[in-house]
Structure 1
Amino acid sequence: MSPFLPEHAAVWFEIPATDLDRARRFYGAVLQNTLYDMEGGPNPMIRFAARDENAIAGHLYPGKPAAEGTGPTIHLAVDAPLEGAMERVTANGGKVVSPIISIPAGRFVYCLDPDGNSFGLFV
C-alpha cells in the first residue's frame, strides 16, 4: 500500500483568542486585509481572507491560548516588504521574536500576537 499523499499537508488552522475584536484588528492590520465573520460554526469565528472561498485558510475563535510562545506556529502570507509587516506587528501590540530568516522558498520571521500565540510572517 502506498502512503497517503495529500495535495496540502495542512488544510485549516484555528487561532484561539481571548478578545475576538482585538484579534481581528491585530491580524487585519498586520496582514493588511479584512477578516470576516463566519456563519454556521459551533461558536463565533472570524475567517482569514484568502483568494477564494475554497482556499486553505483558517479562523480566530474564542478560546484559551497556550502559554506565550509554546503552542503550534502557523506561517501567514504577507505582502512584501517583510520589514513593514514586522513594524505593524509591534505597532498593534504583538512582538517580533526572531530576526528575518531566509530559506530557498522565501523569507520569514517569528512573532507573537497579543495573546501570545506564535505565528510566522512569510514573504
Structure 2
Amino acid sequence: MTFTPDHFSVWIEIPVTDLDRAVSFYNDVFTTELTRVSDSGPNEFAMFPVKNGGCAGHIYPGTPPARGTGPTVHLACPDTLEGTMERFAKAGGDVISDPIAIPGGRFAYGIDPDGNSIGMFASQ
C-alpha cells in the first residue's frame, strides 16, 4: 500500500538567530501576526497563523544552515508575488530569482536575514 496523505508536509521549523528581528521580518513580509509561545518547550518560538487551527509551523531560536544551503520553505503570499518580493527585500531579505511560473501558480526564491532559503508562492 502506498501512503498518500492529504497533506504530506505537516510542520515547518525555521531556525533564526534573533527571534524579535525574525518575527518583525516575517510579519512585515507576509502581512501577518506570528503568535509568540513561551510556555511550550525549552525556548520561546513564534507560530505562523492558519485558519481553523490547522498546522503550519514556527520560527525558533536556533542555528540556521550556511546561507542558502538548507531546505527551501515555501510560504503563501498574502497578495501578489511582486508585492511580497518587494516587502521581502525592504525588510532585509535578498530576493534571488525572478518569478517562476508552475502549473499551480508562481513563486520566487529569497534568502531571509538569517540565510534561510524561502520561497514566496502565489497561486493562480
Please give the range of the TM-score, normalised by the shorter of the 2 chains: over 0.9
Q: In 2, Cα distance between the equivalents of 1:56 and 1:97? A: 28
Query: How many correspondences in the alignment?
Result: 121
**Counterparts in 2 of 1:6 and 1:42: CA distance versus 1, 3 Å:** farther
What residue number does 1:98 align with? 97
Deviation at 1:36, TM superposition (A): 0.9
What residue number does 1:41 align with? 41
Q: What secondary structure is seen at the aligned counterpart in 2 of 1:69?
A: coil
**Identity over aligned pairs, percent:** 52
Q: In 1, Cα distance between the equivalents of 2:41 and 2:50? A: 19
Q: In 2, Cα distance between the equivalents of 1:44 and 1:105? A: 35
Deviation at 1:64, TM superposition (A): 0.5
Question: Residues 93-122 of structure 1: CA distance to partner in whole angstroms, max 9, x if unpaired?
Answer: 100001100111001000010001001000
Deviation at 1:3, TM superposition (A): 1.7
Is residue 32 from structure 1 mapped to residue 27 from structure 2 by the alignment?
no
What residue number does 1:79 align with? 78
Q: In 2, Cα distance between the equivalents of 1:101 and 1:41? A: 38
Please provide the CA RMSD for this pair: 1.0
AA at the equivalent of 2:14: I
Deviation at 1:43, TM superposition (A): 1.5
Deviation at 1:37, TM superposition (A): 1.1
Unmatched 5+ stretches in structure 2: none
Provide the TM-score with structure 1 as the length reference. 0.94
Q: What secondary structure is seen at the aligned counterpart in 2 of 1:52?
A: helix
Unmatched 5+ stretches in structure 1: none
Q: In 1, Cα distance between the equivalents of 2:5 and 2:13? A: 20
> Runs of 4 or more off by more than 2 Å in structure 1?
none
Deviation at 1:52, TM superposition (A): 2.4
